[in-house]
Structure 1
Amino acid sequence: ASVPFVIAASRYPVRELNEKPQPSMLRHLTSKIKSTGPVTVAEYMREVLTNPVTGYYVKNNMLGPEGDFITSPEISQIFGELVGVWILSEWMGAGQPKQLQLVELGPGKGSLASDVLRVFGQLRSVLGGASVSLHLVEVSPALSRLQAQNLTGDSSQEADAEDEPVYRSGETAAGLPVSWYRRLDDVPTGFSIFVAHEFFDALPIHKFQRTEKGWREVMVDIDPDKEDQLRFVVAPSPTLSSSTLVQADESRSHVEVCAEGGVIVQQLARRIAEDGGAALIADYGHDGTKTDTFRGFKGHQLHDVLSSPGSADLTADVDFSFLRRMAESDVACLGPVTQRTFLKNMGIDSRMQVLLRNCSDPSTRKQLISSYDMLTNPSKMGERFHFFSLLHHSRLAKPKKVEGLTLEKRSPAPLPVAGFTKLKFS
């Protein structure tokens, strides 16, 4: 006889639905669970967010004031401008290679990419004759159309075949080529700066709970008393994930592990090690200290993660200590540092002073001050978001001493890494 699943402790109570569920996604999930048994939280997230027919990201435009959440690039263009300066700084620190691929994972509305490209246009003399191209990794057809409109106007075209690696392509008004991909693997090799802003927090997580019998995986099951509702349960025996993903020296009683995030950060690390470049990851996160961070957002409010699946965004804080373990054998890792620290190190205060000096409209000045507060205030986004970077090992290498050369002729010291080091601005 099969061992029954145990209802999770009070941390995971049976969920009550406060609103009418979306029939299609709930029906799909309950059918799957009836056929194969309880599903992992990772499989639940994957289905709810990216199911090709009814997934939240596939069929919704969820960004902005009218959506379910708003991101830093939507709050102020200063955010994207400073990220653009960081990208140029790392390109210069790498020796100004002739090719620069800007690759963004989960580009939202395209606002961040648009702000970065505007900085590139303003600093065209710095880029010189470098060949610049934009590559967007996006699974949502709805969002890719919105990105194309914002970045290329009416110039983008969809691929003829569905299995083409580049499923959409176009050009910006300045003639810069833009390509869309469903997978990071499909992005061409070459020197690349990767940006992932609020990307890793939406990747599926496995949840594990320490029990008297060892680590057990938290699963999603149907409530036997109410078949139109879901609940959390704890697996009665070890799963492959609980046996392989939890660290042997783990001291927490509850752990979330994003295996897919680990795979992606390893891909980024290998590409940087082989082709040069860097990656900047900005997200909700912690450095291996938090436990239960799985939550939903709908209409800018917290939403029950098991209620009305497919109608709300699901997210979990990024464990940067896990990303570091996955990447550090191939690349150097910096951070995490808080968003407040990163932006201030990048010179947001100096930029704000310039904007306020040149602004005479009271309402615009008020908006600038409000957006600055939202981005940097510790009680708002300032300390909830963190920045983490992957760099080629040579980027931080100490100068080589060559026998017979004077001090002035030795290899120059590497440039400091902007954002993670406080820079002086005149």
Structure 2
Amino acid sequence: MLHLRRCTWRMKNLRAYYTVKNEQLPKDPQQVAKQIFSKIKATGPITVADYMKEVLISPVGGYYMHKDVFGEAGDFITSPELNQMFGEMIAIWFLNEWSKVGSPKPFQIVELGPGRGTLSQDLLRVFDHFGALKGATLHLVEVSPVLSDIQARRLCIQTDNILDQKSVIYRQGITHQGIPVKWYRQIDDVPNCFTLLVAHEFFDALPIHKFQRINDRYKEILIDIDTSKDYSFRYVLSKEDTPASKLFIKSSENRDHFEVSPESLVIIKKVADRLEADGGFALIADYGHNGNGTDTFRAFRKHKLHDALIEPGTADLTADVDFHRLAHSASEAGGVICLGPKAQRDFLLNMGIEHRFRALEENVKPELKEGLQYGYKMMTDKEQMGERFKFLALLPAVLKKMVEKYPVAGFH
């Protein structure tokens, strides 16, 4: 089986990135482990979801909070960073669907978890190329101060644009295309407006609860202290029903092991409510399954699999996205319709990435050709990202008849 966080890759002729200085990193590599150790000692074993929150976004030592985790010196790479074609296909998708409803203005482009800002950069470039940025604003939902700084450096004319770290809009600026951009910590604070929302490799990092069936009864998998050595941890099974096991285990469940991300279900419901109320389209891209995944929780460090319980805070934690449950949560109220999940390879080929690749290949500088070819193969090959990654589209339910008459691009 191919194990991927973002993918194992080689850094050759790919995009260049901003970096952060080492002094921004926590001085004590055991800082997060000590926090978790103290928490478990005080309250008992914790859920995997609580563990993920502490490891990834703890203000003191959290994995995403104090360093640049991307690129050759980081732990993973995303499709937008391989080359420009991925972002271009997503931009064309939004332009196509937006034009079908008359290109309403004003409108906002919203990205959840923007990474280094590479995807937003490509979206703005393509929209600007087609003269489609009039009445547009950009809104980024990002919890990491380090990553928001990298995003600002990539996207904005000026980078000294921090407002107040405690305010709802904690950073703002003007992009190179001349449109306003603002940063938020949660989607609730993004203003109401016709929205083109993208979430690429965002949901895979949200906390999960893990369950295992023992003697025809599900137990939640928890994390406890491993007394064999300092600040180490182990998995244990809950002795009694937990709040999560009472809420999220369906009577129809028959897998021996499965995972649920309540935060993902809440966020996708908020996205659906926003599209229903204000209009717009959402595109979710991530690696995952259609309701048949089992034990997918894992860690990546330096582009390799890493034990999730060793040295927490030094490696990325992730789990496959349950697209079936995500789509059900989004559409159960009837306000939106969901399309997909569609394999990344099929979506990109349907959007015409092969034609774009051939055109770029003919005109690219010789020293960049290998990187272009490598990126294209990584994104579309069935053995790489092509089948592992999937796309889910959300549209207001009022567009159902239009969708039946004019199929949504990429999902036909």
Q: Which residue of 1 aligns with 2:47?
A: 40
Question: Do 1:282 and 1:385's aligned partners in 2 also have CA atoms closer than 8 Å?
Answer: yes
Check if 1:343 corresponds to 2:348. Answer: yes
1:156–1:171 CA contact under 8 A, matched in 2: no
Q: In the TM superposition, what are the counterparts of 1:10-409 in structure 2 within 5 Å?
A: 22-124=29-131, 127=132, 130-160=134-164, 162-212=165-215, 214-329=217-332, 330-359=335-364, 361-397=365-401
Equivalent-residue separation in structure 1 for 2:387 and 2:354 (angstroms): 17
CA-atom RMSD, angstroms?
A: 1.5
Deviations 1:23-75 (Å, cap 9, x if unpaired)? 21111111100000000000000000000111101112101122100000110
- How far apart are residue 289 of structure 1 and its match? 0.7
Aligned-partner residue type, residue 376 of structure 1: T
What does residue 3 of structure 2 align with? none
Matched AA of 1:342: F
Match for 1:343: what amino acid?
Answer: L
Asked if 2 retains the 8 angstrom alpha-carbon contact of 1:339 and 1:387, the reply is yes
Matched AA of 1:58: M
CA distance in 1, matches of 2:329, 2:359: 41
Query: CA–CA distance in 1 between the matches of 2:331 and 2:256?
Result: 26
Q: Deviations over 1:104-148 (max 9, x none)?
A: 000000000001110011100xx3x84011000000000000000
Matched to 1:284, the amino acid is: Y
Match of 1:408 in 2: none
Give the conservation status (yes or no) of the 8 Å contact 1:76–1:371.
yes
- Give 1:328 deviation, angstroms: 1.0
The offset of 1:368, in angstroms, is: 1.6
Q: Distance in 2 between matches of 1:274 and 1:131?
A: 19
Shift of 1:157: 1.2
Matches of 1:315 and 1:155, distance apart in 2: 30
CA contact (8 A) 1:155 1:171 kept: no
1:33–1:39 CA contact under 8 A, matched in 2: yes
1: distance between equivalents of 2:83 and 2:178? Answer: 25
SS at match of 1:244: helix
Q: Is the 8 A contact 2:336 2:394 kept in 1?
A: yes
Identity of aligned residues (%): 49
TM-score by length of 1: 0.87
Give the letter for the 1:415 counterpart: Y
Please tell me whether Structure 1 or Structure 2 has the larger radius of gyration of its CA atoms.
Answer: 1
Q: Which runs of 5+ in 1 are unaligned?
A: 1-20, 400-412, 422-426
Q: CA deviation at 1:241?
A: 0.4
Letter of the aligned partner of 2:121 in structure 1? S
Q: Which runs of 5+ in 2 are unaligned?
A: 1-27
Mapped to 2, the partners of 1:357 and 1:309 lie a distance apart of 46
Contact 1:283 1:386 survives alignment (8 Å) = yes
1:156–1:168 CA contact under 8 A, matched in 2: no
Whether 1:418 and 2:409 are equivalent positions in the alignment is yes
Aligned-pair distance for 1:338? 0.7
Partner letter of residue 271 of structure 1? R
Task: Name the CA distance, whole Å, in 2 between partners of 1:54 and 1:309.
Answer: 9
Q: CA deviation at 1:229?
A: 1.4
Please tell me whether the aligned partners of residues 276 and 336 of structure 2 are also in contact (alpha carbons under 8 angstroms).
yes
- Residues 156, 393 of structure 1: CA spacing in aligned structure 2 closer, same or farther, 3 A cutoff? farther
Residues 270-292 of structure 1: per-residue CA shift (max 9 Å, x gap): 00011111110000100011100
Shift of 1:197: 0.3
Aligned match of 1:405: none
Q: CA deviation at 1:213?
A: 6.0
Runs of 4+, deviation exceeding 3 Å: none
1:3 maps to none
Q: Distance in 2 between matches of 1:307 and 1:118?
A: 41
Whether the 8 Å contact between 2:149 and 2:159 is mirrored in structure 1 is no
CA contact (8 A) 1:45 1:204 kept: yes
Q: Does the aligned pair in 1 maintain the 2:205–2:319 contact within 8 Å?
A: yes
Alignment check: 8 A CA contact 1:339 1:386 kept: yes
SS at match of 2:64: helix
Range moving further from structure 2, 135-144 or 207-216: 207-216
1:416 partner letter: P
Q: Which amino acid aligns with 1:237?
A: E
TM-score (norm 2): 0.90
